[in-house]
Structure 1
């Protein structure tokens, strides 16, 4: 879409409003029973005309870089909103002209013919709702386009998802119920013939600002025009930035941190009711290929992901989607910035804090065997350390550590004056020994906050302690147990620890796997040598951020979290009770033991759970939406705010696929 097409489309719609508005006063005097509904129609037309005037002004004049900086999601939402306005106003114009014709013929009409010209209250109220939603959508788009931050733009647009979804459904419904009418499929098709002569349109009268308020006689009688208030709802919460040393909270409860974040005032976190049977969303009536908001073909999603790559913020984006239709995998971009080696569907990506989800899944397997209980305390499962554990930790259960309710908040990088972090990075220290030392460092001191439901704070140490418990109970290292209890049973044979193929990947002329990257202010991301010290977390932290995986393997993992034992493939893997523990929030919180934050999303038709974050040169965003039988994960090979922003943008695209 070019700026002039957008401006011309807005102008065309405005004049359609003006043309219909000129008949309102005539109708008002002849259809007394319709005065209230007509008043609402006039109001919504005025508000819509004002919003369209701002759209027209925004894309007129010098706008060479305005469209280029706007994400594709925003442009699609704008086109869909303008098309929705056109179609709704087309139906309104048809109804208004029918009523005017009835007035003009009233003296000659026979009684049986008068039924053709009655006021249709239900139709008019439906049009009022459509116009109101379109005004709200355009208001949000205007607010978004006034922002310089891409994250903030996307957050604002996503906050209006319910309006865009409604517009999409309304346009599909109009096409279905008015098949004999030809509606445009893009704004480039909007005819400007009607607006080529302003004098013709306004019957010879020049256009002035008052013509953009198509109220006429009834409006003046009712006093000043009310102000339309646009409601800004809180957007998808963004994962906080994590240093190389720690992983972030999987989802700050506050669709892109409260300032930005993807989606609306998203409904407050509520009790999550998990369903074990997936349901596909109801089909949208009308031709699906005529609804630009929907990415209803693989090619459309692939093109949108390519747009993210062309933004230059990340070298690669990888997406895995599981739904009742099966699994879809999309991998776009290159393995390393500055190198043309393309990524493939079998490439191995760091999965950031999703590693923690896998760690607690292993613990659930051991609990299923009766070796442990979620209510066990550390002094019960680690009796050899009982005398060393501070009394403040003695009543903290495995469930509380898994839900990050332990009260631990001290940064692991600065603990013990930084000596612990240096010790963990010593290449002679194994992951097990590093976790043991961390346990002694943190648990000999009182917790930073009182453990319990009000002390939620995501911390890598909680998962390190769970890994220590796994090692103690199983009598082997966390890495060995994780492979035996998770990777092998689920046939995740391309999932492992640290940086994938780091020696060969770092020394080959062309990368053998995606390289990790660091964001650079004002420039492309910088590759980080996958074999270099500091690129990855030390092995002690791998239970919280140190696993890599292929997209096909992640599809299997997503299917397990989406369907659980209701899928025959997982019936022997985990009991229904343990699966529910991983997927339902701990009482009094919104976090599940599977490290997923429960929330409500319109696109998910109810409850959804999510985790994600960034670290070790990668960023990831995972979502599970049981009500629509859909789960997906999006990964980029850049860490920091840049990586999480692109992962979240990819997640938005997945909600529309």
Structure 2
């Protein structure tokens, strides 16, 4: 397998490349291989015990936290709760957003156009980038402003990928989490990482033991053809956490993927009952009864997953990718074969390489 991975890595000029197969029915048995280096131009080898930045794979974690919050005793929240119901302190919600629901936020159906919004709110966004606000205050301010604008498209009707929607879900967790873990950052540590013993997970840039050391994958910008190393602490600002700042070791992230394999096949898990996974895994268009559109909107669920099919993995499976522009990762949950897969690299774009690795994993042509 390493030779095959190495061929793919070399073909696409990647600094490092890792792939893992998680066999959930075999008590989470993991077969993983890593090839290449942590930093281009340095001989420090990438390893399967390194930590990898997950980017937007964080979104499925945030949605899982929302499902857990909904299950909290005495909590009146549901996926169909509207923004005014869930966040009554937001005072400037335009009428067109009064029926926007949590499910719409999770499935990217809330009508946001992130680019247009950030152009309108550039001073606020720059202040968040510069650390003027705490992560919780930054998310609160973004939520207050987001719903004061008319939606770009009618909420609940059209898909438009949105990090803003997940920052707002993070603000909802900031607002409703129990006092002992009253922010998204605390909630994900206390209610997800600790119970699943995801000890190799953290938030923000992939850490180095000392600044400028090379003890984990180093981030790279895409180059032509070779990748370009960037400062080791390059990442999204902390306020964006719910949309994409988690990093994990493979063995820790495998526990999260295994949770979703088990939930998909109807098993009650340590964190959520079996029926809670239905909304997390079912495309929003199916849940809402909307007609198929023939595009990505048909596949995206409120749980931060894209639902698709392949006979190579027993039918329906869940997929997502993640990038903070200087790392790239794929996750696949394949309940039909009771397995999950992870692919990661330390450069910001590698879609073709990831697809080749995924095909190899699906068809066993990588030899593991």
Q: TM-score, normalised by structure 1?
A: 0.51
- 2:46 corresponds in structure 1 to 343
Runs of at least 5 residues in structure 2 that lack an aligned partner in the other structure: 291-297
Pairwise CA RMSD: 1.9
More helix by share: 1
- 2:352 corresponds in structure 1 to 645
CA distance in 1, matches of 2:347, 2:144: 33
CA distance in 1, matches of 2:192, 2:20: 19
CA distance in 2, matches of 1:462, 1:470: 13
**2:58/2:244 contact within 8 Å kept:** yes
1:17-67 CA-to-partner distances (Å, cap 9, x unmatched) read xxxxxxxxxxxxxxxxxxxxxxxxxxxxxxxxxxxxxxxxxxxxxxxxxxx
- 1:496 corresponds in structure 2 to 202
The residue matched to 1:507 in structure 2 has which SS?
A: coil
By how many angstroms is 1:505 displaced?
Answer: 5.0
By how many angstroms is 1:418 displaced?
Answer: 2.4
Correspondent of 2:231 among 529, 543, 564: 529
1:406 aligns with 2:115: no
1:396 aligns with 2:100: yes
- 2:274 corresponds in structure 1 to 576
1:379 aligns with 2:78: no
1:472 aligns with 2:170: no
**1:621/1:648 contact within 8 Å kept:** no
- Between Structure 1 and Structure 2, whose CA radius of gyration is higher? 1
1:538 aligns with 2:237: yes
CA distance in 1, matches of 2:134, 2:336: 43
**4+ runs deviating over 4 angstroms:** 565-568
- 2:302 corresponds in structure 1 to 593
- 1:334 corresponds in structure 2 to 37
CA distance in 1, matches of 2:92, 2:8: 51
CA distance in 1, matches of 2:244, 2:83: 22
CA distance in 1, matches of 2:138, 2:229: 28
CA distance in 1, matches of 2:20, 2:2: 12
Correspondent of 2:332 among 608, 620, 623: 623
By how many angstroms is 1:604 displaced?
Answer: 2.2
Counterparts of 1:53-452 in structure 2, within 5 Å, are: 301-311=1-11, 313-323=13-23, 324-325=25-26, 326-370=29-73, 371=75, 372-385=77-90, 387-411=91-115, 414-416=118-120, 418-452=122-156
The 1:382/1:420 distance shift into structure 2, 3 A limit, reads: same
CA distance in 2, matches of 1:572, 1:501: 29
Runs of at least 5 residues in structure 1 that lack an aligned partner in the other structure: 1-300
1:515 aligns with 2:215: no
CA distance in 2, matches of 1:436, 1:384: 10
The 1:620/1:416 distance shift into structure 2, 3 A limit, reads: same
1:263-293 CA-to-partner distances (Å, cap 9, x unmatched) read xxxxxxxxxxxxxxxxxxxxxxxxxxxxxxx
**1:620/1:644 contact within 8 Å kept:** no
By how many angstroms is 1:417 displaced?
Answer: 5.5
1:154-192 CA-to-partner distances (Å, cap 9, x unmatched) read xxxxxxxxxxxxxxxxxxxxxxxxxxxxxxxxxxxxxxx
By how many angstroms is 1:567 displaced?
Answer: 8.8
The 1:565/1:607 distance shift into structure 2, 3 A limit, reads: closer
**2:114/2:164 contact within 8 Å kept:** no
**1:309/1:333 contact within 8 Å kept:** yes
CA distance in 1, matches of 2:9, 2:299: 33
The 1:470/1:529 distance shift into structure 2, 3 A limit, reads: same
The residue matched to 1:520 in structure 2 has which SS?
A: coil
By how many angstroms is 1:556 displaced?
Answer: 0.9
CA distance in 2, matches of 1:542, 1:649: 29
- 1:610 corresponds in structure 2 to 319
- 1:11 corresponds in structure 2 to none
**1:320/1:554 contact within 8 Å kept:** no
1:393-423 CA-to-partner distances (Å, cap 9, x unmatched) read 1111111111111011131684326223211
- 2:161 corresponds in structure 1 to 458
The residue matched to 1:455 in structure 2 has which SS?
A: coil
CA distance in 1, matches of 2:81, 2:117: 29
**1:413/1:421 contact within 8 Å kept:** no
1:512-567 CA-to-partner distances (Å, cap 9, x unmatched) read 1101100112x310111123xxx211111121111100000111111111112869
Aligned residue pairs total 345
The residue matched to 2:222 in structure 1 has which SS?
A: strand
By how many angstroms is 1:384 displaced?
Answer: 1.3
By how many angstroms is 1:613 displaced?
Answer: 3.6
1:551 aligns with 2:250: yes
The 1:605/1:499 distance shift into structure 2, 3 A limit, reads: same
By how many angstroms is 1:379 displaced?
Answer: 1.1
1:194-223 CA-to-partner distances (Å, cap 9, x unmatched) read xxxxxxxxxxxxxxxxxxxxxxxxxxxxxx
The 1:632/1:536 distance shift into structure 2, 3 A limit, reads: same
The 1:490/1:412 distance shift into structure 2, 3 A limit, reads: farther
The residue matched to 1:564 in structure 2 has which SS?
A: helix
